[in-house]
Amino acid sequence: MFEAVPSWLLNKSEKEKVSRKWLVGGRSDGFSKMLFLPTTNYKLQTTNHSLLYTTCGTTPMLRWLRYFLLTVIALSLLGVAVAQRVQCQPRSACNRPVTFTPTSAEYSNAIGGFLNPDLTSPNIKLKLKRDKDEPFTAELSRTSWSPANNIELEARFTLLAKKTPTQVTAWLPVSELPLQFLQSDDKRTDIEVEYRLRISGQELAGSYETTVQYFVWDARDKKNKKDTVTHQIRVEIPPFLQLRIGDILTSGGVATIYFDYAEPNALDYVRAIENGTPLELSSSEVSRVEVAANNPRGYTVRVSVTQASGPVGSGLGVADILLFDSPADGQSIRRDSPTVGFETLVLPEDFTVFVDGDEEPGSYVFAVEFNAEINP
């Protein structure tokens, strides 16, 4: 058995026997070991012609010193291995996920804009330390969303360093590809991270998770001088359904598709009768009808047509209003999966009018109604 002993615990004669260099110790059972004693001496005694290190007794003070010494050695070894250290500040902040759990209203309001984390989310602050004032690079990436989704995460950094003035970066997209957000040679940089979601309305409803990783490295020595820190982000996207008429050109709040076959287009009407082809629109104030639904089971849009006015006794009625070459009234468009953003359902030119010559001249007005529901 052997143990390092501070020299001040040794008496004068003992100190004389101690070497301050590399020693080879051996025990009677054959054990041998090389020790390096930079600051302490050893108490030696010889027994049966073999060199034996003996224990001087383990007082609490000695035990404390031993731990201290080991800690110093471990830290110095670690410092050699890792030139950069990146840590969450405090460390516990990275143990909790950053969460986005908007209400339906918050989510709806954020479409086309952004969502901020919940107020209860931890503030992510990073402490970046270096052993030398050498340039280094900090990168950010995330894992793919689980389950898969098209959520757009963005981050912005406030960089507080000794040698350079405080900087606030632009909002940067956080993706699976590493994003370099800092190059610096400061010995210590504090980084405050802000997150937000860019909301397009295309996000699928549900609960999602990703892990964000910060990676700090020295371009000149990637083998040893790097460090990482990670934390989780959780997002809840509420379900959503929206129906809209695209690109309205009128200012009165009502958009119209016109089938105007008065002069000078009356001959087209006659040709349509002769050829048995429906009339096409002559002009439109509607560009498209669109739907967005992030329901996993998709949506159904039903079309209904009513006649609002027109000459009495005319042969032109609801059944003659065609959509995709079939009577529009009662049609339904069903999709069993979510949309990716807004999906165009109907274009104005998809409407036509069937005529066969029994129509009374005059103005007709039909109302077309789109009913949207998610598939239950």
Partner 1 sequence: MIEPMKRFLLLLLLIFFMAAHAAEIGLSPPRLELVGRPGETLTETVSILTTASSPQQIQVDLSDWTLDPEGNLLVLPPASLEFSSAAWLEPEAGDFILEADSSQEFRVSVTIPQDAAYDGTYQSMVFFTVVPPPTETQGVGVITTTRIGLTIYVTIAATEQGGSELVDFFQPDDGNLTVAVANTGNTVMRLGGFVELRDEEGNSKYRLEVPDVPVLRESERELSIPLPEGIEPGFYVALALIEDSRGGILAGELPIQVP
Q: Which of residues 208-267 bind partner 1 (CB under 8 A)?
A: 238-245, 248, 250, 252-263, 266-267
Contact assessment for residue 190 and residue 125, using Cβ atoms and an 8 Å cutoff:
yes
Stretch that binds partner 1, among 41-49, 76-84, 149-157, 291-299 (CB under 8 A): 291-299
Compute the least distance from the CB of residue 334 to partner 1, in Å.
7
Q: Cα-Cα-Cα-Cα dihedral of 146, 152, 158, 159, to 10°?
A: 70
Nearer to partner 1, 215 or 259 (CB): 259
Q: How far apart are CA 184 and CA 137, in angstroms?
A: 7
Largest CA distance in the chain: 131
Compute the least distance from the CB of residue 346 to partner 1, in Å.
9
Compute the least distance from the CB of residue 131 to partner 1, in Å.
52
Considering the rule CB under 8 A, would residue 149 count as an interface residue with partner 1? Answer: no
Considering the rule CB under 8 A, would residue 1 count as an interface residue with partner 1? Answer: no
Distances (CA, A) of 219 to 94, 154, 183, 206, 226: 26, 25, 10, 40, 9
Q: How far apart are CA 89 and CA 121, in angstroms?
A: 14
H or E segment to which residue 87 belongs: strand 84-88
Considering the rule CB under 8 A, would residue 96 count as an interface residue with partner 1? Answer: no
Considering the rule CB under 8 A, would residue 368 count as an interface residue with partner 1? Answer: yes
Instruction: Please work out the total of residues on this chain that contact partner 1, with binding judged by CB under 8 A.
Output: 76
Compute the least distance from the CB of residue 178 to partner 1, in Å.
34
What does the per-residue mask of binding to partner 1 show for 100-119, with x meaning CB under 8 A?
Answer: ---xxx-xxx-xx-------
Considering the rule CB under 8 A, would residue 312 count as an interface residue with partner 1? Answer: no
Contact assessment for residue 315 and residue 346, using Cβ atoms and an 8 Å cutoff:
no
Which residues between 154 and 183 bind partner 1 (CB under 8 A)?
A: none
Contact assessment for residue 187 and residue 277, using Cβ atoms and an 8 Å cutoff:
no
For residue 212, give the DSSP letter.
Answer: E
Compute the least distance from the CB of residue 319 to partner 1, in Å.
14
Considering the rule CB under 8 A, would residue 26 count as an interface residue with partner 1? Answer: no
Nearer to partner 1, 217 or 354 (CB): 354
Give the CA angle between residues 84, 85, 88 to the nearest 5°: 150
| Residue selected from 300, 333, 338, 339 as contacting partner 1 according to rule CB under 8 A | 300
Considering the rule CB under 8 A, would residue 136 count as an interface residue with partner 1? Answer: no
Q: Cα-Cα-Cα-Cα dihedral of 350, 356, 357, 360, to 10°?
A: -60
Considering the rule CB under 8 A, would residue 371 count as an interface residue with partner 1? Answer: yes
